[in-house]
Amino acid sequence: MWTLITGAGSGIGRSLALELARKGHDLILAGRTAVKLDEVAETIRQDVPERKVRTFTVELADTASTQKLAMQVCESADRLAAFVYCAGAGEPAADLASLQLSDFQEALAVNVSAPLLLTQSLLPVLCESGKASRIVMVGAGIDKHAQPGTGSYGISKMAMRRLVQQLSVEFGAMEAGPIVSLFQPGLVDTPGIRDHVSKACALNLPHGPWLKDRLDSGRSLTAEQAATAIWHADHLVGAGGRDDLDGRHLKVPEKIPSGRRTGKEDGFFIGIAQHITLPIQIEPGHVVSSFHRNKL
């Protein structure tokens, strides 16, 4: 049972690779940095020696590199049970005038074009057995809530949300098309978010200090908790088949601050359809009691 994870060298992708290996998945790990991928692969081989692991470096902002990855995956596995897109890009900017077109284009390439291209190219192995495979794309709560300085990341993640909608519609017309979902874990303490927060604070962006306070005080998920949530979501939310999971927006409860510095916090989960309990410990004495899902 092969699973492809992009962004597997660190953060949620790394933790998910370790989680899925323990659950019986053979893994194809993709990312920018070979040494990080090799470390994850070696950890898996030591912890779960019976699992197969393959690693491929990729520059997801580059079309040719992304196409090469797809070819390598198709040559490595005759079928993919799942494809989890954990990679992401998008630098904060001081203001609209400072937003670099090159960064905006890179964010669109990594957060939208690459997952689309990979999905298209991997269809032969995603649909091989006639049994629906899983595609999970990791989104961001800021996609629907514009914040100063977050244009590249937020706009491209909103486009990812729309991509998931489109894929769900397209695959829904197929006899055994993949089941697609968007996963939003809220704030997760990863090297990527730490780097973003550092840059946002340096630029005096309103969300920077708020995020830093939550990270420093432990009021966030760990990468391991987010990975566990993805696994539980697939098994609990998807237990009823395509109609139960396809096109769903899988979310962990979280809030973000208002970009207008009102002192209030705007919850970004609207129109909750159902609640599914997950055993995820966030901090001593507090358990995330529900894992929300609703139509995108």
Query: Going by C-beta distance under 8 Å and a sequence separation of 6 or more, which residues neighbour residue 63?
Result: 109, 113, 117
Structure confidence at residue 42 (pLDDT): 98
Question: In terms of Cα–Cα distance, which of 208, 288, 213 is closest to 251?
Answer: 288
Q: Which amino acid type is present at position 104? A: F
Question: pLDDT tens, 9-67?
Answer: 999 999 999 999 999 999 999 999 999 999 999 999 999 999 999 999 999 999 999 99
Query: Going by C-beta distance under 8 Å and a sequence separation of 6 or more, which residues neighbour residue 111?
Result: 88, 89, 90, 153, 156, 157, 159, 160
50 vs 22: CA distance, rounded Å: 10
Confidence of residue 146 (pLDDT cuts 50, 70, 90): confident
Higher-confidence position of 229 and 6: 6
- Mean pLDDT of all residues belonging to the chain: 81
What Cα–Cα distance (Å) separates residue 74 from each residue in 67, 101, 230?
Answer: 11, 33, 24
Q: Using a pLDDT cut of 70, give the percent of the chain over it.
A: 78
224 vs 294: CA distance, rounded Å: 24
Confidence of residue 252 (pLDDT cuts 50, 70, 90): low
Helix (H, G, I), strand (E, B) or coil at 64: helix
Confidence of residue 251 (pLDDT cuts 50, 70, 90): low
154 vs 219: CA distance, rounded Å: 22
- CB burial of residue 219 (10 Å; 0-12, 13-18, 19+): middle
> What tokens were used for 163?
């991509």
Confidence of residue 271 (pLDDT cuts 50, 70, 90): very low
Question: In terms of Cα–Cα distance, which of 76, 85, 15, 80 is closest to 43?
Answer: 15
Structure confidence at residue 176 (pLDDT): 79
- CB burial of residue 203 (10 Å; 0-12, 13-18, 19+): middle
Residue 5 has pLDDT above 50, yes or no: yes
Helix (H, G, I), strand (E, B) or coil at 89: coil
Question: pLDDT tens, 159-182?
Answer: 999 999 999 999 988 877 899 999
What does the pLDDT average to over 245-254?
50
All domains of the chain in start order, with CATH: 2-295 (3.40.50.720)
Residue 84 has pLDDT above 50, yes or no: yes
Residue that the structure tokens 């370790």 belong to: 18
- CB burial of residue 67 (10 Å; 0-12, 13-18, 19+): middle
Q: Which amino acid type is present at position 67? A: Q
Are residues 251 and 269 in contact, defined by beta-carbon separation less than 8 angstroms?
A: yes
> What tokens were used for 252?
């962990």
62 vs 267: CA distance, rounded Å: 35
Among 8-12, 182-186, 276-280, name the most confident range. 8-12
